[in-house]
Structure 1
């Protein structure tokens, strides 16, 4: 009874543990991507009350490209490793194998040096549009560890190292530390990719804003801080209590009884013009919201 119970518990743990790790990673990378996405519109993600399911869905979206790249790299590495094993199988090819190991170690050390520069000098990594620093650290550690393994294999055969030498023990410790550097750097690179992915999605969303449903706001009192590009009309007494009308808005997100709306033509200010702003409008008796499909709105030239 106890042995079967322990066996069943191990099976459950083997299934639950990876699922928990994957869920945590999806939530984390989804959070990073969403934070960068809403920051593009000047909105702190802490103000947006998204559910766990919504965050996980964004996390799945972020992980598709890295997983595909890792799978392709895995196929390539498998083929290259098979070629290296063939090279190491024959002692007469030890000279070529040795030079290959030296080349891998040198390339790995150069990549690690580049990664350390980006890690220690904040201005270098901050100006990167692609995560060069973490990738250099990850690939450099892998190249050094693999090149060291090739050199150790050749040296052990030529010098008949049958016992547990001090060099072998030091090599094992070094491989462990290099593996830690590689895993941490790969996590860092994926984190940078998630942030870049979020910014890219924000820019893509901004380009499609003119074609999204039109948000019309009818308010009792005039709104303050209306962003440029939003048209205002005062309907007068004939319009009733909700006389103030605002059009030219699009919905960014709804959260906690609030609408986060943006102009139909979003400007980030990189062209020297006035950057757009996000307008936060609470639900309530003071505001009425009207949604309607709309054709593309010509861009405003006075902003």
Structure 2
């Protein structure tokens, strides 16, 4: 009895295995979480005039911040995926019930046409970056059009192949290369879209904090010399001269924005367009007190 040899892995499977050997999935996931957490944090603290690199956050800090900006994209991707599965099942039923290949050809051409229109619009926006870069929705609309267009075009091609005879199912190398390029464009567009959402999420979080600065930890700051702070609402008091006293000025109505590795970032307890963030080093040159919340236990 002759045994039938098992089919080996295809090119795509070999490519995926090679990618796993070069970049382990856990490392790739950690890098993505770090990047989106960094993008969100950078946008958040830019609102307060702070470069996030000066704070001194570590890799784990950015990874822990990534779930908040990724929540909306993941929910959208999951909903779109569920809808795509339902649409695909409906298309397969319609093609299977038909007595000819015309429905598959008609649906496939319609998907390809819609995909080309969306791709053309996205590429037009991409090529016109110098003219429309100030458009607030540019970073979201452009990648979404490219991703949707590429997906519709590839799915339309797939549907058209469903109506062909089995002998015509072979795919020439040029078609495989073009398909791979479309998939890369879709992946890059999805990455771009998620990064834009993470940036917006960070800015939204900053504006939410700015509207509720009184919820941040309250701080009293003592310094050796006057800081000449410009933010409205900050109260400066000169401490009485006492022998051995090295701190001469006290500042109230300050809130802790964030605590870095070796410094604190303080803001006034109410937002103002002329406000500023005070960077305080934790090296013994200042004295800091954190106040209890004004709520009786």
TM over 0.5: yes
State the Cα distance separating 1:163 from its structure 2 match.
6.8
- Give the equivalent residue in structure 2 for 1:291: 290
Q: 1:95 aligns with which of 102, 108, 111?
A: 102
State the Cα distance separating 1:20 from its structure 2 match.
1.6
State the Cα distance separating 1:36 from its structure 2 match.
0.9
**Is residue 57–residue 261 contact of structure 2 (8 Å, CA) maintained in 1?**
no
Change (3 A) 1:114 1:295: farther
Q: How many residues align?
A: 273
**Is residue 36–residue 198 contact of structure 2 (8 Å, CA) maintained in 1?**
yes
**Is residue 230–residue 275 contact of structure 2 (8 Å, CA) maintained in 1?**
no
Task: Answer with 203-212 or 125-134: which moved more.
Answer: 125-134
- Give the equivalent residue in structure 2 for 1:149: 158
State the Cα distance separating 1:139 from its structure 2 match.
0.8
Deviations 1:178-220 (A, max 9, x none): 1111011111111111111111111112222112221111112
SS at match of 2:42: helix
Gap regions ≥5 residues in structure 2: 1-16
Deviations 1:20-52 (A, max 9, x none): 211111111111111111111111111111122
Deviations 1:89-118 (A, max 9, x none): 244263333332222112211211221122
2:267, 2:240 → 1: CA distance?
A: 25
Q: 2:83 aligns with which of 72, 76, 86?
A: 76
1:292, 1:32 → 2: CA distance?
A: 32
- Give the equivalent residue in structure 2 for 1:135: 144
- Give the equivalent residue in structure 2 for 1:57: 64
Gap regions ≥5 residues in structure 1: 1-9, 268-273, 297-303
State the Cα distance separating 1:140 from its structure 2 match.
0.6
Q: 1:214 aligns with which of 209, 214, 218?
A: 218
Deviations 1:157-187 (A, max 9, x none): 4xx754747xx55433322221111011111
SS at match of 1:41: coil
Q: 1:117 aligns with which of 110, 115, 124?
A: 124
- Give the equivalent residue in structure 2 for 1:260: 265
- Give the equivalent residue in structure 2 for 1:202: 206
1:18, 1:120 → 2: CA distance?
A: 34
1:28, 1:100 → 2: CA distance?
A: 39
State the Cα distance separating 1:144 from its structure 2 match.
0.8
Query: Normalising by the residue count of structure 2, what TM-score does the alignment of the two structures yield?
Result: 0.83
Task: Answer with 278-287 or 184-193: which moved more.
Answer: 278-287
1:213, 1:137 → 2: CA distance?
A: 45
Matched, 1:185 2:189: yes
RMSD of the TM alignment (CA)? 2.5
- Give the equivalent residue in structure 2 for 1:300: none
SS at match of 2:24: helix
Deviations 1:261-298 (A, max 9, x none): 0111123xxxxxx43211111123331111103559xx
1:243, 1:173 → 2: CA distance?
A: 72
Change (3 A) 1:258 1:56: same
SS at match of 2:219: strand
2:142, 2:169 → 1: CA distance?
A: 39
Change (3 A) 1:57 1:231: same
